[in-house]
Structure 1
Amino acid sequence: MYLSTIDRRVRRGDRSARRPGLRAVGQTVFVLGTVSLLTDISSEMVTAVLPLYFVLTLHLSPVAFGVLDGLYTGATALLRLVGGYVADRFRRRKTVAGVGYGISALAKLALAGVTGAPMIGAVLVADRAGKGLRTAPRDALISLSVPEPVLGRAFGVHRALDSAGAFAGPLVALGVLAIVGGATPDAFSALFVVSFCVALAGVLVLVLFARDRTSPAPGAARVTLGQAAALLRDGRVRRLLGAAAVLGLSTIGDGFVYLALLRQHDIATGWFPVLAIGTNIVYLGLAGPFGVLADRFGRRFMLRCGYAALAAVYLLLTLGLPGIPGTAVILLLYGTFYAATDGVLMALAGPCFPDGLRTTGLACVQTVQALAYFVSSVAFGLAWVGWGSAAPTGLALGAAIGALGLTWVLLPGQRGKETR
């Protein structure tokens, strides 16, 4: 009721509705934010130590790490699209998201019992399959639960809760490793089991408290494959997908950024998770305010600011800015990049798709970006082996600058802002 009132006031041009408070984002956003908080604690516990686990414990090469890192994010493209379409066709976004969260939770437990790159790669693909299934339905639920003019705020609140989990995850990982006795195989196994328990708590919150507000009305026609495919005939959608591809190609994995910092500044490997904590502190503090600013000044503008911050990160890595101050500046810029781009891209993309195909459309955007990221990760790993870490970061800098220019043309405008 409150949200529909806000929406009517926005359409009438009521100025007081243009800057609603946190109540405007509604219960759905806070419940899904809590689920993401718990899930991200679980995920970041693992992500924070995976590069160390791969390189120090399993002795994988940078190329193998790049392939696994790419699989961790980009190798489940088809499943993302299938999940998005199924969620729209049956209008069961919560159910599809719940299956995705459950698969990811089980994958954390499986990591405790597998060794060797092939088996670990299979488990990581399963984990990302779960993420691929859940992300688009979750973001569609957020997008459909609030009026368009406050989408940036809603995604900002969700991403702030999400990043709180990302901030806590590495701390929990450090605590588990310290209690069990350092970076040993037994310590990693204990960490994976704890990660599973936290992820399971997130699944329970989703099942018990989240509501799917888009159940089909009696007699409502189901979405067809033809309707889903017709999205690609929309020039606005094609430009959006092109922009997502460009942005994905300009991004390298977090693990590479942090490994480069370790090598440049001779930081002890035990401090590796702290680098992720520094990034997530900035993300946590800026996600909400940047969402508000994106609604007010334009989501395209905020995205470009974020990728400008990413270009600055690559520039500083290329130059080798020395000491603790240099590391702090890089982490500040890296957290700024995530805060200005993660939820903002979904807030920009959501209104480009009709309500009945919202999940499918967002899944397309996320899939294109993930595939591009996969290519980028593998290419960066190969370049690292051939040239060391400095030259590849210079290439990443050029890609980020190119992405800024191309997205200036490709990204669609913000309809809500134009309407207001």
Structure 2
Amino acid sequence: MGVVSFFTDISTEIMVAVLPTFLVLQLGATPDIVGTIEGIAESTTSFLKLASGTISDKMGKRKSLVVIGYAISNVVKPLMGFSSSWAHVLGLRSADRVGKGLRAPPRDAIISDSAMEERVGRAFGVHRTLDQLGAIVGPVIAFLLLVPLGYQGLFLLTAIPGTLAILILVIFVKEPKRRSAVSKCTLNGAKSFLTKNVYTYLASVTLYSLGAISYAFILLRALELGIPEEFAPLVYTCIQVFHVLSGLPAGELSDKIGRVRAIQLGYALLLGSFLVMALAPSPLIFIIGASLFGAHQGMVETSQRAIIPCLVPEEYRGTAYGLYNMLIGVATLPTNLVAGILFSMSSTFSFYYGAVFAALASIAIAFVGSVSENPVKRRI
């Protein structure tokens, strides 16, 4: 799955690295429209993520949903270059996120089901590292080829790594053997895993997501500080480099010090990064803040996913990952709508807004009680 994500992320990040500047400088979109596009695209698929996870639990077969999800995303991205208005981008970006909504919960459940119980954190760390290596290669390609190919050529180029990802997934990824019987759960039956710890954990994830503003605002802030348009993909690359460097160590660290502490560290990094980017007097200081933002992503994304097997029995993990991804998606719309409005008033306001929610999430996760560091066995 890591190699599949590597090629998919090359495709995705070629697009994401230039999409904010394409919208603002080519299509005339304003920062609040950029925020609206990102928010709607993510949130419209939120409930699909929950359904996808639950369906994969009931089917006992996760791979087919993963294949469909990757296929949808990799078909629509090359079409982005033919957009003549921000409304076209909104439709295509939403379709791309539909693909992610279908694939993410069953993909995470496959990783969880495939890993040795004591190495779940490492498994997610390896996946995130390969995923984010693709996220480094993509923006570098965008930087090198934006001028010779233009925006349309870059978007068309995303079809090549996207096709490779689908071929590798279909040919080489095998359905893991389930360690328990196929779940006969329904959404009502799945409520049995919603313990106090799970509710508290999901509340902290929601608070975190309410402050996790889009990359688009980071890139627009970079332009505001004097970084040239053609160098914007390099800012994004810097974020992804530190995302990669922190991913595998984050998984190892969460196995050693515990999931909750690792998540707290990630939230603290996010808080620090927002303050640095808001207060940065120069592009260099801003890049330091952007690097911290990348480091926080590796820590949080790995640890937040690795804690779920420690809270939820195997037969409900697809549903649990679906609920987790749904809450993140639901929070994305108000997050980016508010961030877009605040950015239009003053770019620093959107970063202060994110810092407040990072602090609140750090407080909330501290209320998660004792957590077993090994995955929960199937309930009898």
Question: Distance between the aligned counterparts of 1:128 and 1:259, measured in 2?
Answer: 22
- 1:212 paired with 2:181, answer no
RMSD, matched Cα: 2.0
Matching residue within 212, 216, 224 for 1:255: 216
* Residue pairs, 1:369-384, within 5 angstroms: 369-384=328-343
Q: Name the count of aligned residue pairs.
A: 376
Counterpart secondary structure, 2:165: helix
- 1:144 paired with 2:107, answer no
Listed as ranges, the gaps of 5+ residues in structure 2 are none
* Residue pairs, 1:18-417, within 5 angstroms: 32-180=1-149, 187-214=150-177, 222-232=184-194, 234-264=195-225, 266-324=226-284, 326-385=285-344, 387-409=345-367, 411=368, 413-416=370-373
Shift of 1:416: 2.0
- CA deviation profile, 1:106-139 (whole Å, cap 9, x unmatched): 1113323332222221111110010011111111
Q: How high is the TM-score relative to the length of structure 2?
A: 0.93
After alignment, is 393-402 or 61-70 more displaced? 393-402
Shift of 1:223: 3.1
Shift of 1:230: 4.0
Contact 1:298 1:417 in 2 (8 A): no
Listed as ranges, the gaps of 5+ residues in structure 1 are 1-31, 181-186
Question: Distance between the aligned counterparts of 1:103 and 1:96, measured in 2?
Answer: 11
Question: Distance between the aligned counterparts of 1:114 and 1:259, measured in 2?
Answer: 20
* 2:23 maps to amino acid: F
* 1:228 maps to amino acid: A
* 2:157 maps to amino acid: V
Contact 2:223 2:229 in 1 (8 A): yes
> In the superposition, relative to structure 1, how do residues 137 and 394 fare at CA in structure 2: closer, same or farther (>3 Å)?
same
Counterpart secondary structure, 1:416: coil
- CA deviation profile, 1:308-349 (whole Å, cap 9, x unmatched): 11111111122224242x133213211210111112100011
* 1:260 maps to amino acid: R
**Corresponding position of 1:184:** none
Shift of 1:240: 2.2
Structure label with greater radius of gyration: 1
Shift of 1:216: 10
* 1:394 maps to amino acid: Y
Shift of 1:258: 2.3
Question: Distance between the aligned counterparts of 1:47 and 1:72, measured in 2?
Answer: 13
Shift of 1:417: 6.2
Question: Distance between the aligned counterparts of 2:128 and 2:371, measured in 1?
Answer: 20
Counterpart secondary structure, 2:212: coil
- CA deviation profile, 1:27-75 (whole Å, cap 9, x unmatched): xxxxx00000000000000000010011111111111110101123332
Q: How high is the TM-score relative to the length of structure 1?
A: 0.85
Shift of 1:418: 11
> In the superposition, relative to structure 1, how do residues 270 and 412 fare at CA in structure 2: closer, same or farther (>3 Å)?
farther
What is the percent sequence identity of the aligned residues? 28
* 1:389 maps to amino acid: S
Counterpart secondary structure, 1:48: helix
